[in-house]
Structure 1
Amino acid sequence: MSGLLSVPATVSLRRAHHPMRRRGVTYGPEGETHARHHPPPRLRARHPHRGHLAESSVGSPGTEGRHAAHRMLRAWLHTLRDRLTVDVAAHFAAQLPDLLRGAYYDGWDPSTAPVKYDREGYVNRFVQEAKVTAEEVPRIAPAVTGVVREHVSPGHLEAALEQLPHDIQALILQPTG
């Protein structure tokens, strides 16, 4: 049987177990170790820091600041979502990180979208959901817009905001000082 490679019966064709390698651990190209249930650092998704909103100009540090910041973010997401058509709302949601997407869709009834309201209606809805005063909305809404902008692909926020009336756009996009 010339041409055929003969392999002794004592040699296994499977990869031999290396005595220095441990089970449940993967080894990177440079020999670094990683537990199998955790991806290597270079492959791990980048998640926004939990306290990011509380540390921004939206809320103050601490537990109550975090809760207030999340309430304001949620109010911002819901007031935007409710004013958009279903298609635009879904397209915008697809750009959001999972945590924000969950807050965005929470309690949404697409059969009622879009809800038509002007600047005053926007402020009233924001005040009711965020539990802030109407005087605070011109400061808070643009700050939240800046935070959301950091978490979506360039141009997607602007595409969604183009669907809003100009007076609401002006409120949401005004510079924070």
Structure 2
Amino acid sequence: MPLPHDPLAPAINTAHKWLRAVTDDLGTYDRNFAHRALRAWLHTVRDSVGAGTAARLAAQLPELFRGAFYEGWVPDEVPHPHTVESFLTQFAGEAGVSADEAAALLGAVTEALSRLFSTGQLDRLLAELPAPLRRLLTAELLSSTVATGTDKQGSR
């Protein structure tokens, strides 16, 4: 007798694809580390933009990451005014890394997500952030991909 179809399998598969993209860009096989970095990116960025932008961003996420995105969110307290230092501190604390490591990790996670979000999503998100935070998130590496929308898969 065949096993019944797991109704959560598609959501789990999509989450694994996204996590694999992050592990690849971080250059690690440590999925727990990649998950912490992705979750920290989502929370730190979420807290830095308005509720509407955060909701549009969440709509692009796989179901399993959408739950992590909203965990602990207080919409009435956003956007939180971040300096580069406070942004790095929040990210580093949630990712479990040093502030020195945080900047490189932010850029790598952004790079991975730039290929996963639909075309223009990251542009709209970054446009809402102050220029120093945009530079931090992109590590000045995404200028061609974000500006032109190339290499976007638009998958979820």
Question: What's the TM-score, normalizing by structure 2?
Answer: 0.76
Unmatched 5+ stretches in structure 1: 1-23, 26-34
* 1:52 paired to 2:20: yes
Aligned: 1:151 with 2:105: no
2:125 alignment counterpart:
160
Q: How big is the shift at 1:151?
A: 2.1
How many residues get paired? 137
* Equivalent position amino acid for 1:151 in 2: L
Q: Give the superposition deviation at 1:97.
A: 1.6
| Matched-pair contact (CA < 8 Å) for 1:145–1:173 | yes
For 1:169 and 1:113, the matched residues in 2 are separated by: 17
> What pairs up with 1:96-135 in 2 under 5 angstroms?
96-135=61-100
Distance in 2 between residues matched to 1:54 and 1:152, nearest whole Å: 13
Q: Please give the secondary structure, in 1, of the residue aligned with 2:116.
A: coil
TM-score by length of 1: 0.68
CA distance in 1, matches of 2:88, 2:126: 16
Q: Deviations over 1:70-90 (max 9, x none)?
A: 011010000000011111111
User: Which one-letter code corresponds to 1:143 in the other structure?
Assistant: A
Aligned counterparts of 2:22 and 2:124: Cα–Cα separation in 1: 27
Which structure 2 residue ranges, 5 or more long, are not aligned? 143-156
Return the offset for 1:156. 0.6
Q: 1:84 and 1:95 mapped to 2: Cα distance?
A: 15
CA deviation string 1:99-128 (max 9, x = no partner): 221111111111111111111110111111
Secondary structure (helix, strand or coil) at the match of 2:47 reads: helix
More helix by share: 2
Calculate percent identity across the aligned residue pairs.
37
**Structure 2 residue corresponding to 1:68, chosen from 13, 20, 33:** 33
Q: Which runs of 4+ in 1 moved over 4 A?
A: 35-39
